[in-house]
Structure 1
Amino acid sequence: MSSKKGTDRLDDFDEVATGHGIPATYQDLQGTVQNVPTATRALMLRALGKVSREAVNLSPPRMELDETTKCYLPTFLEKEKVWGISLQLYELTSARSWGLGDFEDLKTACEIAAAAGADFIGLSPVHALFLSQPNRCSPYSPSNRKFLNPLYIAVDTLPGYEEAWVDQDALATLRETEFVDYEGVTRLKLPVLRKVWQASVDAAEATAGRETFERFRSDAGEELRLHALFEALSLAMVERGHGGGWTDWPAEFQSKDSDTVKRFADDHADEVEFHCWLQWVAAEQLQEAEHCARSTGMRIGLYFDLAVGEAPDGSSSWSTPELVLQGLRVGAPPDVFSTSGQDWGLVALSPTALKAEAMRPYAELLDASMRFAGALRIDHAMGLWQLFLLPEGETPAVGGYLRYPFQDMVATLAAESHRRGTIVIGEDLGNVPDGFRDMMVKAQILGYRVLYFEPVEEVVGSPAVSHLSLACLSTHDLPPLIGWWRGDDIRLARQFGLTGESGAEASLRERQERRTAFIRAIQEAGLSSAAVGSISEPAGAISEELFVAMHRLLARSPSITVALRLADLVGEDRQTNVPGTSDAYPNWRLKLRLPLEEIAGSSLFQCVVAAVTAERPRQS
Structure 2
Amino acid sequence: MMGSHLDLLAKQHGISLTRPSPDNVEVPVSDETKRQVLAALGVEEKSAVTPLKQKPSKAIPKSYLPEALEQGRVWGISLQIYELRSERNWGIGDFEDLIGMIRLGSLLGADFIGLNPLHAPFIADPDRCSPYEPSNRQMLNPLYIAVDKVPSFKGSPQLERRLRSLRETDLVDYIGVAEIKLMALREIWRSKQGSAVGTLDGESFDAFVQAGGDVLRLHALFESLSAFMAERGIGAGWKGWPVAYQRPDGPEVTGFAEAHADDIQFHMWLQWLAHRQLGKAAQAAQDAGLKIGLYLDLAVGEAMDGSATWSEQDAYISDATVGSPPDPFATEGQDWHLAAFHPDQIASGKQSPYRRMVTAAMRYAGAVRIDHAAALRRLFLVPLESAPDGGAYVNYPQDKLLQILSDASAEFRCVVIGEDLGMLPEGLQDNLAEAQILSYRILSYERGEDGFKPADAYPRLSLACISTHDHQTLAGWWRGADIKARADHGIVPSDVSAAHVKERKHEREDLKLVLAQADVEAPHRLPSAAANDEKLKDLVVSAHRFIAKTPSVLAAVRLADMTSEKHPTNIPGTSDTYPNWKPKLSVSVEELATVSLVKKIAEVMREERNERLRSHG
Normalised to the residue count of structure 1, the TM-score between the two structures is: 0.94
In the alignment, which of 505, 513, 516 is matched to residue 512 of structure 1?
505
Aligned to 1:478: 471
Aligned to 2:26: 33
Larger displacement relative to structure 2 (468-477 or 39-48): 39-48
Aligned to 2:149: 157
Q: Which amino acid in structure 1 is aligned with residue 63 of structure 2?
A: C
2:323 touches 2:388 (CA, 8 Å); kept in 1? yes
The 5-angstrom pairing of residues 122-271 of structure 1 reads 122-164=114-156, 167-199=159-191, 201-203=192-194, 207-209=198-200, 212-271=204-263
**Residue 581, structure 1, aligned to residue 574, structure 2:** yes
2 CA distance for matches of 1:101 and 1:602?
Answer: 19
Aligned to 1:335: 327
In the alignment, which of 315, 320, 333 is matched to residue 323 of structure 1?
315
The 5-angstrom pairing of residues 84-483 of structure 1 reads 84-164=76-156, 167-199=159-191, 201-203=192-194, 207-209=198-200, 212-357=204-349, 360-455=352-447, 456-462=451-457, 465-483=458-476
1 CA distance for matches of 2:151 and 2:27?
Answer: 59
Post-superposition Cα deviations, 1:231-256, rounded to whole Å, max 9, x if no partner, equal: 00111101111111001111211111
Tell me the CA shift for residue 585 of structure 1: 1.2
2 CA distance for matches of 1:43 and 1:536?
Answer: 48
1 CA distance for matches of 2:138 and 2:436?
Answer: 24
1 CA distance for matches of 2:564 and 2:56?
Answer: 43
Larger displacement relative to structure 2 (308-317 or 577-586): 577-586
Aligned to 1:77: 69
In the alignment, which of 555, 561, 564 is matched to residue 568 of structure 1?
561
Aligned to 1:4: none
CA separation of 1:205/1:600 partners in 2, compared to 1, >3 Å: closer, same or farther?
Answer: closer
Larger displacement relative to structure 2 (224-233 or 473-482): 473-482
Q: Which amino acid in structure 2 is aligned with residue 391 of structure 1?
A: P
2 CA distance for matches of 1:13 and 1:599?
Answer: 60
1:530 touches 1:546 (CA, 8 Å); kept in 2? no
2:513 touches 2:523 (CA, 8 Å); kept in 1? no
SS of the residue corresponding to residue 600 of structure 1 reads helix
Q: Which amino acid in structure 2 is aligned with residue 292 of structure 1?
A: A
Tell me the CA shift for residue 565 of structure 1: 0.3
In the alignment, which of 3, 12, 18 is matched to residue 19 of structure 1?
12
1 CA distance for matches of 2:7 and 2:553?
Answer: 44
1:81 touches 1:560 (CA, 8 Å); kept in 2? yes
2:189 touches 2:196 (CA, 8 Å); kept in 1? no
Question: What are structure 2's unaligned runs of at least 5 residues?
Answer: none
Tell me the CA shift for residue 531 of structure 1: 1.2
2:382 touches 2:388 (CA, 8 Å); kept in 1? yes
Tell me the CA shift for residue 353 of structure 1: 1.8
2 CA distance for matches of 1:166 and 1:480?
Answer: 38
1 CA distance for matches of 2:22 and 2:111?
Answer: 35
Tell me the CA shift for residue 65 of structure 1: 4.7
Post-superposition Cα deviations, 1:394-446, rounded to whole Å, max 9, x if no partner, equal: 11111101001111111111111111111000001111111110001100010
2 CA distance for matches of 1:220 and 1:567?
Answer: 36
2:326 touches 2:334 (CA, 8 Å); kept in 1? yes
2 CA distance for matches of 1:254 and 1:608?
Answer: 51
2 CA distance for matches of 1:392 and 1:615?
Answer: 50
1 CA distance for matches of 2:540 and 2:198?
Answer: 54
2 CA distance for matches of 1:545 and 1:509?
Answer: 24
SS of the residue corresponding to residue 344 of structure 2 reads helix
Q: Which amino acid in structure 2 is aligned with residue 184 of structure 1?
A: G
CA separation of 1:206/1:306 partners in 2, compared to 1, >3 Å: closer, same or farther?
Answer: closer
Q: Which amino acid in structure 1 is aligned with residue 564 of structure 2?
A: G
CA separation of 1:500/1:265 partners in 2, compared to 1, >3 Å: closer, same or farther?
Answer: same
1:481 touches 1:568 (CA, 8 Å); kept in 2? yes
1 CA distance for matches of 2:50 and 2:348?
Answer: 14
2 CA distance for matches of 1:603 and 1:539?
Answer: 16
2 CA distance for matches of 1:22 and 1:50?
Answer: 12
2 CA distance for matches of 1:353 and 1:49?
Answer: 12
SS of the residue corresponding to residue 177 of structure 2 reads helix
Post-superposition Cα deviations, 1:570-615, rounded to whole Å, max 9, x if no partner, equal: 2213211011112211111111111011101211111111011100
SS of the residue corresponding to residue 215 of structure 1 reads helix
1:512 touches 1:538 (CA, 8 Å); kept in 2? no
Report how many residues are paired. 607
Larger displacement relative to structure 2 (268-277 or 11-20): 11-20
Tell me the CA shift for residue 522 of structure 1: 1.9
CA separation of 1:33/1:100 partners in 2, compared to 1, >3 Å: closer, same or farther?
Answer: same
Larger displacement relative to structure 2 (532-541 or 170-179): 532-541
Larger displacement relative to structure 2 (313-322 or 513-522): 513-522
CA separation of 1:63/1:601 partners in 2, compared to 1, >3 Å: closer, same or farther?
Answer: farther
1:370 touches 1:422 (CA, 8 Å); kept in 2? yes
**Residue 521, structure 1, aligned to residue 514, structure 2:** yes
SS of the residue corresponding to residue 393 of structure 1 reads coil
CA separation of 1:488/1:56 partners in 2, compared to 1, >3 Å: closer, same or farther?
Answer: farther
Among the aligned pairs, what percent are the same residue? 42
1:482 touches 1:542 (CA, 8 Å); kept in 2? no
2 CA distance for matches of 1:519 and 1:23?
Answer: 41
Question: What are structure 1's unaligned runs of at least 5 residues?
Answer: 1-6
Normalised to the residue count of structure 2, the TM-score between the two structures is: 0.94
The 5-angstrom pairing of residues 473-552 of structure 1 reads 473-531=466-524, 534-535=527-528, 537=530, 542-552=535-545
2:323 touches 2:380 (CA, 8 Å); kept in 1? yes
Post-superposition Cα deviations, 1:314-372, rounded to whole Å, max 9, x if no partner, equal: 00000000000111000000011111000000010011123543672211111011101
Tell me the CA shift for residue 49 of structure 1: 3.4
SS of the residue corresponding to residue 42 of structure 1 reads helix
Tell me the CA shift for residue 121 of structure 1: 0.4
CA separation of 1:63/1:595 partners in 2, compared to 1, >3 Å: closer, same or farther?
Answer: farther
Tell me the CA shift for residue 540 of structure 1: 8.7
1:535 touches 1:541 (CA, 8 Å); kept in 2? no
